[in-house]
Amino acid sequence: IYRDIMRATAAILLVLCLLAVINIKNLMQIDAGLGQLVATDTSQISYYLVGDESIRLPGSLKHITVGPAGIWGVNKADSIYKYVAGNWVQAAGLLKQVDAGGVQFIVGRYSILSDSHKGPAVKYYSCGPFGCWAVNKNDDIYLMNCLNNGWSPIDSKLFVIEVETDGSGVNFWDGITASKPEGTGWSNIPMYMPMKHVTYDLGRLWVISNSGFTMVCTH
């Protein structure tokens, strides 16, 4: 969601979005994939969200993700964990942010403004079946896929980016297909308040506002 178009009327917002029925305050980050929803709050408590219920997961995580590769997270020490049979199993290495949207693989950022693959220094990753997207400290957008054989710049800017497991970009980058993974352009979603995190899955856009509200939008 573009930061410079986040203001619109409340009436427009109510048409698109409703306050999510989540009995958790101060969510910091949220991620959806394959019909599942996970989140962390400002106290680094992680949750698995089912309908209007939340299941608190063990441990403390600053970032959590769900997708074809399973449920993964990283803690404040940058240690990496996978959720297996009700417990977190530590994986080798260190990451500051992780994304499980790829098919049987994860990607992540392993130090401040650097990345886990050779390419541009980035602050946030998100992957889908047609490629991986990233944004750097200047909010520039990059795409890596099998067709371009490396990172290609996208002529736009975003603070954070998320990709659905079917390859759809958030806010919304239209026309993404296997033969055209870079898509065709943005369809903007008006918001009347600044948002700090977004995620999209199965036709639902989940957003967390800077003030702590969690909303779900459909289109």
For residue 56, what pLDDT is reported? 95
Average pLDDT along the chain, 219 residues, taken 10 residues at a time: 35 51 82 92 94 90 92 95 96 89 67 46 81 87 74 83 60 63 69 81 85 79
Any idea where the domains of the chain sit in the sequence? 3-218
Transcribe 21-56 into DSSP letters. ----SSEEEEEEETTEEEEEETT--EEEEETTEEEE
pLDDT at site 113: 35
Token pair belonging to 163: 């990709």
Q: What pLDDT, on a 0 to 100 scale, did the predictor assign at position 5?
A: 32
DSSP state for residue 4 in the 8-state scheme? G
pLDDT for 75: 96
Of the options 3.40.640.10, 3.90.700.10, 2.120.10.30, 3.30.2350.10, the CATH number for the domain spanning 3-218: 2.120.10.30
Instruction: Tell me if the pTM is above 0.85.
Output: no
